[in-house]
Amino acid sequence: MNSVEAARSGVPVERVAAVRAFNRFYTHLIGVVGEGLLETPYSLTEARVIFELAQRDVAEVTDLRRSLDLDAGYLSRILSRFEADGLIHRDRSPDDARRQVAGLTGHGRTVYRELDGRSGDQIGRILSGLPEDDQRRLVGAMGAIEGILGERRRPPMYVLRAFGPGDFGWVVQRHGALYAAEYGWDATFEALVARVVADHIESQGGDAWIAEVDGEPAGCVFCVRKSERVAQLRLLLVEPSARGMGIGGRLVEECVRFARRSGHDELVLWTNDVLGAARRIYQRAGFELVEEGPHHSFGHDLVEQTWSLKL
């Protein structure tokens, strides 16, 4: 798409240019524009055909053409070359003699393993030069591109993981920013979160989890030791962009499981009545309201609540 076509499409020209620049960068990075992919005699399209055939014993040629979105004549020429080189065999379909099927020979599977191994080694070298956080960001960004542009958009997926470097700072920053934006709470709330995080790190009691979506933190929860018998759930948070995925309930569930495994008899939490979405999560998990009362904190008149779950 040139600048005139971009203007006609209604898409800003600079966005079109950015995508085209990324395409040039990435194809150069993985060597697609060279004589052969991964220093082999095969082009990118030919390698895609080999990879596709390797996923099954035989494939109907019409299905292969459809899945790869290739011109019938172009695919036929590729298959003819592969057959002459001993990479594939072609036969009539046992279900319909009018249809042709193709499959890799033993030599073809050897070529596939070489291509697959070289591809894995190449990506491994690229990733090994990046810090762990950058690797997660890169994979997450690629997942986001696939999810947005893919023909069958996959639903966003999340994982729960342990805390890593920088995550505790993220908890403090996101609590401060989100509660200020959504409830108008002042900096004293962020200070409270910072103290809770610091106490958790220094005491090394309890556990904490990060929910991650497409390689980026999207939620968190802490389970801390309040006493020998009682554990406390603290700092539950889910990013607005990740709400509706069940992350809040899953984080609470993990906290409950940990408290039970640790031998506690009760799990408690402190919240405020304005946090309606969080309260519904607690109720679904079986928590019961045991105490509430007015107080003034974080620049507002609030109603604090204590909830309890018998384990």
In the prediction, which pLDDT does 33 show?
47
9/151 same-domain check: yes
Positive or negative, the Cα torsion across 5, 10, 13, 17? Answer: negative
44/147 same-domain check: yes
Instruction: Say which CATH number the domain at 41 has.
Output: 1.10.10.10
Domain boundary among 137, 157, 177: 157
133/249 same-domain check: no
Domain boundary among 157, 183, 216: 157
In the prediction, which pLDDT does 56 show?
81
133/26 same-domain check: yes
98/191 same-domain check: no
Domain boundary among 131, 157, 183: 157
Domain residues for the domain of 110 are 3-157
Residue 135 tokens, joined: 């690797």
Mean pLDDT of the chain: 87
Counted domains in the chain: 2
Rounded average pLDDT per 10-residue block, the chain, 311 residues: 55 83 78 57 84 86 85 89 92 82 91 87 85 78 74 69 92 96 96 95 88 90 94 96 90 95 95 93 95 96 96 93
15/46 same-domain check: yes
In the prediction, which pLDDT does 217 show?
93
Q: Could you report the per-residue pLDDT of 94-135, keeping only the tens digit for each?
A: 877 788 889 999 998 998 898 888 888 888 888 888 887 788
